[in-house]
Structure 1
Amino acid sequence: MTFSKKDIQYILTIALSALVYAFGIESFVSSGNLFPGGFAGISRLVVMLVERHLGFVIPFGVIYWVMNFTVVLFIWNRIGHKFVLYSVLWFSLSSLFSIIINVPIVTQDMLLIAVFGGLINGFSIGLALRSNASSGGTDFIAIDLSVRLKRPTWNYLLGLNAFVLVLAGLAFGWDKALYSIIFQYVSTQVVNTMHQRYKITRIQVITDHADKVCEAVFNTVRHG
């Protein structure tokens, strides 16, 4: 596997994105006890449940990295390797930065935390996506299932996020869950604005080699 100047640019952007993401997690998400989507939300839920019931703190970055890397072990041979490596770099740096950086609490206002935390979160993920990376975790699962089942599976992720928010609401109060919905909505809108690849486009291809065409399209755009 060779790396071009564009790859170096991608790697630097991924590092910046990971730093911005970690800042958002530590300065907004953690201070507001919010629950982002995907593995980040599950990791936050585990951190808070362990602290409440067992009396000690597991760093968010540790749980987040372990969950993501576990998925990588299962999907490594089924998704483009460079895409996976970039994503591993992103969530590894994000996890590391969230552990080592010490940032002040910007505000105690929950609405500001949800809105600006969502802006920062969406901006960081948008940067990663522009650099041919993703936040890993549930993105990997959705892509893998889409290929294996030959149908979109992103709605399953919405169901998972909803389930996490219900658990968070039951355990820590519905105000946290509702503010988390605002956070996730703002973040999603920023990602959609920054990353046009997720705009729906339909093309029709007539070929005698459907499997090869599907494989080539997926390896290029990461969509089935």
Structure 2
Amino acid sequence: MEDLQKLIERHQYVGRAGTAFIYGILVSIAVNFFWTPGHIYSSGITGLAQLINTLTARYAPIQLSTALMLFLLNVPLFILAWVKISHRFTIFTIISVALASIMMRFIQPVTLTHDPLICAIFGGAINGFGTGLSLRYGISTGGLDIIGIVLRQKTGAKMGKINISFNVLIIAAAGFVFGWPYALYSAVGLVVNARVMDMVYTRQQLMQVMIVTDRPKSVTDSIQNHIRRGITIVHGAEGAYRHDEKAILFTVISRYEMYDLRSAIEESDPRAFVSITESMQIMGHFYEPKL
């Protein structure tokens, strides 16, 4: 059993390392193919690194590259993640940021277009997909992702919304450096980035589940064998058509756990009636697996 657990963990580590590599490629494409040619700033620490690169190129004798600043600016946030989140999460975050910096340095820029709107939309979508994919598989891209996770553990706010709240400064910087039309284009890119991130990072999308069944014990056991969720059981419900006795089960899951819920229902009671709705806010304790 221990050997099997070690094999599973090793497989997860390889998968996370592969995801970090994919993220490094995606963020490099976003920066070198779209944002830099279109004079668009990214969100968070990547955007701040771009700003420092632009300002040092204009006003300083030495230009600090975006790739170098991306890593250096993340160092204090690595410490925050080590203390507040987990050591394993921090190690993979360092790997993903390091790979992004390396890829950004060595993938040669290709100017596909100078149209700022196209650059903002496609750069934001590519970066948002890479960031959401990384978070979905338990690693971070550094920067505001780390701050966002810490704050989300306290407030329950979504990652994309947290990112937008931190990026007003980046938009203003784009306006001062490139002109206010580019600030608006950067804002479009940030919104696209946040929306795509929220679409991909489904662990934070919470769903309320209502199950009507005549096998409450079987369904409850099956769900809790698949996912770690509390369930409230209401006994004594009655079907209006046949007047047979039913029970109603209530629980809350993340969208990421939808497949496991469906498998559990199919195993225990394929004839159960299941209603799933998006949950706007959760008050009280909601278990989240450690990253």
Q: Same fold (TM over 0.5)?
A: yes
Name the counterpart of 2:100. 94
Normalised by the length of structure 2, the TM-score is 0.65
Q: Which of these residues, 195, 200, 210, is aligned with residue 189 of structure 1? A: 195
Name the counterpart of 2:40. 34
> What's the CA shift for 1:114?
1.2
**Alignment check: 8 A CA contact 2:24 2:104 kept:** no
Name the counterpart of 1:13. 19
- The answer to whether the aligner puts 1:217 opposite 2:287 as a matched pair is yes
Question: Which of the pair has more CA radius of gyration?
Answer: 2
Deviates more, 1:100-109 or 1:136-145: 136-145
- The answer to whether the aligner puts 1:22 opposite 2:92 as a matched pair is no
**Alignment check: 8 A CA contact 1:33 1:176 kept:** yes
Name the counterpart of 1:160. 166
Q: Which runs of 5+ in 2 are unaligned?
A: 1-5, 209-228, 233-283
The structure whose RCO (Cα within 8 Å, separation 6+) is larger is 1
- The answer to whether the aligner puts 1:46 opposite 2:60 as a matched pair is no
**Alignment check: 8 A CA contact 1:168 1:176 kept:** yes
Q: Which amino acid aligns with 1:151?
A: T
Q: Deviations over 1:61-93 (max 9, x none)?
A: 100101112211244122112222111111110
Normalised by the length of structure 1, the TM-score is 0.82
Aligned length: 211
Deviates more, 1:138-147 or 1:65-74: 138-147
- The answer to whether the aligner puts 1:179 opposite 2:185 as a matched pair is yes
Q: Which amino acid aligns with 2:58?
A: R
**Greater share of residues in helix:** 1
Q: Deviations over 1:108-151 (max 9, x none)?
A: 1112111111221122112212321121112222333555xx43
**Alignment check: 8 A CA contact 2:164 2:191 kept:** no
User: Secondary structure of 2:176's partner?
Assistant: helix
Q: Which amino acid aligns with 1:178?
A: L
**Greater share of residues in strand:** 2
**Alignment check: 8 A CA contact 2:32 2:104 kept:** yes
> What's the CA shift for 1:161?
0.5
Deviates more, 1:17-26 or 1:154-163: 154-163
* Distance in 2, Cα, partners of 1:108 & 1:60: 19
User: Secondary structure of 1:67's partner?
Assistant: helix
- The answer to whether the aligner puts 1:112 opposite 2:118 as a matched pair is yes
> What's the CA shift for 1:188?
1.8
Say what the alpha-carbon RMSD is for the aligned residues.
2.6
Among all aligned residue pairs of Structure 1 and Structure 2, give the percentage whose two residues are the same amino acid. Answer: 25
Q: Which of these residues, 110, 133, 137, is aligned with residue 143 of structure 2? A: 137
* Distance in 2, Cα, partners of 1:8 & 1:100: 23
Name the counterpart of 2:155. 151
* Distance in 1, Cα, partners of 2:132 & 2:148: 18
* Distance in 1, Cα, partners of 2:156 & 2:133: 24
Q: Which amino acid aligns with 1:38?
A: G
